[in-house]
Amino acid sequence: MLTSPKRKVLSLSHIMTALLQSSQPLLAVLIDPDHRDHPNYETLLIYLRKGLADLILVGGSTSKRFNVDLICRELKQSTDLPVLLFPGNHFQLSPHADALMALSLISGRNPEYLIGKMVEAASIIREYQLATIPTGYILVGTTRTSATAYITNTQPIPVSQPNIIAQTALAGQLLGMKTIYLEGGSGSEQPISTAIVNTTKKSIEIPLIVGGGIQTPHQMMDLYAAGADVVVLGSILEQKPEMLDSFYKVLIEDRIVYD
């Protein structure tokens, strides 16, 4: 039942519910564990400790297992935010994370990244007792080859094919995915267009995560308005971690939480 607004910063259970039910727009920060030595990493941690995001994703195309584990432990010790594994390969697992985004690269036709990596990871996931969030991962084509496209040996879906993008998302939902991650590729020159986000969102009922190339709070808000349930920031915060403050402030200005 809706009662009066209580607070603007979300609790862990609220965030997990919001993630799986699209009940609140969420802001996720992606940390590449191999960039832990980056001079801005400590500054970013300061902002995350203040709770200026809703969740943290940990992973990268080539991250090492040791670094993944280390960073998950650090983040869980020093922040209250949910930490989700966003693995580039089956080595990027840690029992210290809250959950694993179990990715299937459904935009590609490489069986290794559709199912193979999950088969290799399955027994470790069970051993670590990690909760999984089945995620249909859709790489959308930009002007340059992204690290994800290169490493996974797959073609992104061209931006000129919004209907194929939307149909792929729907196929993911029909196969039982709990969320769709629409990815423009880390460090893209610009985010995925709002038209593509909108068409994709209209084709599915599950939450839509959008990432790649987001550099300003304005771009982020446009993506939420177009239908993104979660927006992911990576590169911009490696370059300018202090910007997390303005991204989060803009987001929670509109946010009202009901019990």
Figure out which of the listed residues 24, 63, 168, 186 binds ligand 1GP, where binding follows CB under 6 A.
186
Taking CB under 6 A as the rule, does residue 233 contact ligand 1GP? Answer: yes
Closer of 18 and 140 to ligand 1GP (Cβ):
140
Taking CB under 6 A as the rule, does residue 232 contact ligand 1GP? Answer: yes
Question: Smallest distance from the beta carbon of 58 to ligand 1GP, in angstroms?
Answer: 11
Q: Which two tokens stand for residue 10?
A: 């979300």
Closer of 16 and 140 to ligand 1GP (Cβ):
140
Taking CB under 6 A as the rule, does residue 88 contact ligand 1GP? Answer: no
Figure out which of the listed residues 76, 187, 216, 246 binds ligand 1GP, where binding follows CB under 6 A.
187
Piece in contact with ligand 1GP (CB under 6 A), picked from 97-105, 108-116, 122-130, 228-236: 228-236
Distance CA 135, CA 169 (A): 10
Which contacts of 69-75 are long-range, i.e. CB under 8 A and separated by 24 or more positions?
Answer: 69/94, 69/96, 70/33, 70/36, 71/31, 71/33, 71/36, 72/96, 72/97, 74/45, 75/31, 75/48
Taking CB under 6 A as the rule, does residue 30 contact ligand 1GP? Answer: yes
Instruction: Determine which helix (DSSP H) or strand (DSSP E) holds 118, and give its type and residue range.
Output: helix 117-128
Piece in contact with ligand 1GP (CB under 6 A), picked from 40-48, 64-72, 149-157, 227-235: 227-235
Taking CB under 6 A as the rule, does residue 212 contact ligand 1GP? Answer: yes
- Name the one residue in this structure whose structure tokens are 């983040």: 75
Taking CB under 6 A as the rule, does residue 214 contact ligand 1GP? Answer: yes
Distance CA 258, CA 226 (A): 23
Instruction: Determine which helix (DSSP H) or strand (DSSP E) holds 31, and give its type and residue range.
Output: strand 26-31
Taking CB under 6 A as the rule, does residue 40 contact ligand 1GP? Answer: no
Taking CB under 6 A as the rule, does residue 156 contact ligand 1GP? Answer: no
Contact 148, 183 (CB under 8 A): yes
Distance CA 227, CA 34 (A): 31
Instruction: Determine which helix (DSSP H) or strand (DSSP E) holds 65, and give its type and residue range.
Output: helix 65-78
Question: Smallest distance from the beta carbon of 208 to ligand 1GP, in angstroms?
Answer: 13
Binding residues for ligand 1GP (CB under 6 A): 30, 183, 186-188, 211-214, 232-236
